[in-house]
Structure 1
Amino acid sequence: MGWKFRLTLTIRRKLIFSFAIILIIPSIVIGLMSYEIAADKMREEINNFGVRSVNMLDQIINDTIDPKIHDITYFSKQITEPFLQGGAQAPIRERLKEYYALHPELVSVYVGTKEGVMIQEPVQKMTEDYDPRNRPWYQDAIAKKGQTIITEPYVSASTGKVVVTIAKTLEDNSGVVAMNLNLDNIAKVVQQVKIGQQGYAFIVDQTGKYLVHPTIKSGTDFKEKWEEELFAKKSGQIELDETNEFISYETNKITGWKIAGLMFSAEIQEAVQPIFTRTLVVIVAALLAGTILMIFVILSITNPLMRLIKASRKISEGDLTETISVNGEDEIGMLSQSFQQMQTNLRTLIGQVGFSANQVAASAEELTANADQTSKATEQISTTIQLLATGVEKQFHSVEETTETVQRMSLGVEQMASHSEEVTAKAIEASVKATEGSHSIQTAVEQMSSINHTVKKVASVIKGLGERSEEIGKIVDVIANIATQTNLLALNAAIEAARAGEHGRGFAVVANEVRLLAEQSTHSAEQVDKLIMSIQGETNQAVHSMDLATQEAEEGINLINTAGDSFELIQVTVEQVTAQIQEVTAAIKQLSEGSKEMVSSMEMITEVAETAASSTQEVSASTEEQLATMEEITHAADSLAGMAEELQTLLGKFKI
């Protein structure tokens, strides 16, 4: 079946099959690749958006919680046991009231004393048996003395809102200062986050309960199949094949909450569907255009071929009058022109053959008469040629032996010339390489010198940098001392303002701000001091490394200078050897050319002698045979006349 198919695979079918492969396969491959690239890009974009949304929520939580931790720390330092006594609570209450008024995101701010007293803003009526020392926030803060604790989110009994408590023990251990933070602002931001069209964000606390979710109530237990995977790592991505969901999550460093963004894989398919449709339309349009072009090209090739086939069939039947129309100047047109020219030449040839057949018939009769006379002359020539052949054969053997000797000598000279040229080329190449090596060594010396000079400069700059960092450290110590003294003065001013009561309120605010600035200055000075210590350590290491680099660069310069001297000596030696080899090569070339000329001359002599010997032998044999064949010529002339008549009959079948 395969053999029959190959026999019936016409040019038209071959062209259709080839064009189909060229059109369909690249179009489909390009379309699929474009679709996959677009889908991957869209999937990456949605995934990155989910990651950015989670990171944004994490930053919002940090921006909300972190300032409150600093404020709690401040209150724990400022509030001491003397201010918690019954008659001295007014300044503390006033300070808490002002703070609460400036922070609407707070539900309340309060202090629980070790005596069981509760100082709270806004003021709320407590039950008679209420004791802050029995509350979880108080007990957790006492258990983690000196640390700021953040409770698990819970629903406030008084407001019904989800809150967390931030608390810390007072520095003198006289109680615990705390504040309840409303999470409504965080919840609003989380609920506004949209990942794609249907994706959303949510927050789960460290105990495995929903803190914020668009559809699930706060405090509901987090019960998902991928719960263990979510809490196994601080951050990552989870792909759920059964629900076609993709989750990116991050753990908040301050609270330990899990912030997650969920997106649906189906949205990616919906987003890339228009791309698939446009790609399909482009492929179909390209196939249609290619099909039209393919039909035009195939017809332009096959139609002229069909006309040629029709004309060739008529010519095979003997009709040479068929004309072929020639259209176009392409390969098919050139083939048609050649076929037409072949037909014209064939018609001319048949006419000439007919004319020649008539002449052959007439000449056959004359040949018969001349054959008898030729036989007599041939007998005399045969005797003379036999004598000449014997002498020529002896001469040929002598020349042949001489030629073999000269050829062996010429072959040896040619091999010598070939080896000499190879040696010359290798010597020249070695000279060039030696020159290049010398230049490279000189360049390396210059570069090593430049590196050595630069390293010395850098070492000097680094030493200067270390000296400046020491001076900056001294200045930072002065700033830290000033900040410490300012902090003490501000604390004393705050105490005096508290004693002054209503008249010292404004001064107390100013003193507080001065104290905050002093604390910030102290903190900044400590950070700068740490940086300076780190810089000084790294500077000393850099100076040591620069000294080692300088020594190694100087050693490298000495080694390269030694190598440069060796390369110069090698270069001079190679140049001398190259000049001597070139002289030898020139002499061998002259010898080789002379031997070639001699071989050529001997070969010509041999050929002439061989030809002469062969010719004389052939002539001798021919003359002997000619006597026998002359009789056959007479008979052949008669046959030739008969064949000429038969040829005239065959030519009559052609129509010209």
Structure 2
Amino acid sequence: MLSILSITMVLIIAAAWLGSQMDKQLKWTDHTHLVRHMLSAIESDLVRAESAQRAYTLMGKEEFLAGYDSINNIGQQLDKLQFEVSDNKDQVDSCTRLREAIDQKISFMSRAISLKRSGQEAELKTFIQGGEGLDKAQAVHRYAAAMDGVESNLLEKRRASLASTQAGLNWTLLLGLCVDLVVGLAVLSVLGQRLAPLGPGASFAERIGRGDLTSDPLPVRNNDEVGRVSSSLNLMLHNLRGSAQQNQSHADTLNDATARIASASKEQAVALQQQSTAMQQTSVTLEELSQSASQIADRAREVASRAEATSQAAGAGLESVRKSVRSTQSLVDQVQVVSERINALGEKTDAIRSIVLSVNDIAERSNVLALNAAILAAAAGSEGKSFTVVANEMKSLADQCKEATVQVRELLGDVERGIQASVVLIEEAGKRGMSGTTFTDEASVSIHQLNSQVNDSTQAFQQIVAATNQQKLAFEQVSEALLSIRQATQQSASTTQQLEQTTKELHRLSGDLVKSLDNFKMDRPG
């Protein structure tokens, strides 16, 4: 057995070494392909540039120089190529000569383009016909072909070496497969001999797998691996019997418990549904009370607003009454002044009456004097005619004065009657003004009391509005609390429903467990 393992280890080491050699050879093969590809790319770019240069020198159009820009990449490609062949001195020298030839070819093409652009056609023709451009192109191709030939020879050698290594690896793997096959057959033979006694144990395990726990324990004859397996199977049978009996008892208990939990959950779900319905009705009632409180608050607010407007109107009326009182008082004062002036006028009328009496007395005397003068003039005869005229004239004036005094006396009588009537009216107006002042004072007191009562009513309504708002807030808080309780009740109902479903599922599982335990064949305890 040890020799077989040694041979296997040697084969594994040989396979690993051959695999590493194949990996190196594959990398060198890829390197050769890369160098050949780079040489082809450099030569293609140079040919493209040369074609563009020839087309330009023949046609003279700048657009033909579009392909000439490919020479810009040749320098970088040459640097990469020299780096890739740096492990081969001959190839490095060939790459240097290739670079020199390419530089000379590029210089030739640049000279040709410069002559074409400057219009020196004759010199350009001589320059091209000299054959220098063809020689330089052939030199580039010759150096590139030489490098490609070297790489091609290296590729053939590396392919041959790779094929040899791969053949060695294949033989090594084939030999290892044969060794493994021999080892496997030997192991199977040994296992067949060692595991033959496990037949009864396999049948024993199959019966246990079918649920038959009534089998007799296996006999244990040896203390080897087979004996230990038989002991383990016997112990497993003993433990399975105990576990099955215990699980049977627990399943029956669990089945009864889940049935009781399901019944209690169903009753609790019904109670929670009724509680949720009651909460919903209470919430609706509180919502209606809240709306009523809002309406009461709106009505109270409207009445308070009207009461406040009434209070303002009462205040304005009280101010108007006060102004009326002041106006009436002023009128009474003016009536008193007018009454005093009319009394003074009456007194002056009496004075005028005395003057009129004096004038009447003078008129009477003048009339008597005129009568005496007429008598004296008549006694004087012709000499007294002029005096008679004067006496007549005096008599006429005395009569006129008498008539005037009569008229004045009548007018004074009318004035006195008017003054007396005015005095009576003014006194009556003064009395009525005083009465109006009294009434106005009483109205002012009543309006003041009404204003005070309206203010008290306004404050009371404002208190009602505040109390109603507080009541509304209380209703809203209670409604929110009921909503929270309702949500909690609904959540509890949902949880109860889930519990009921879980209990039903648990009851079903316990039933399935009882049925599955019934599949085990066990000796029932007496």
What's the TM-score bracket when you normalise by the shorter of the two chains? 0.3 to 0.5
Compute the TM-score of the two structures, normalised by the length of structure 1.
Answer: 0.27
Q: Which has the higher strand share?
A: 1
Tell which has more relative contact order, 1 or 2 (C-alpha 8 A, sep 6+).
2
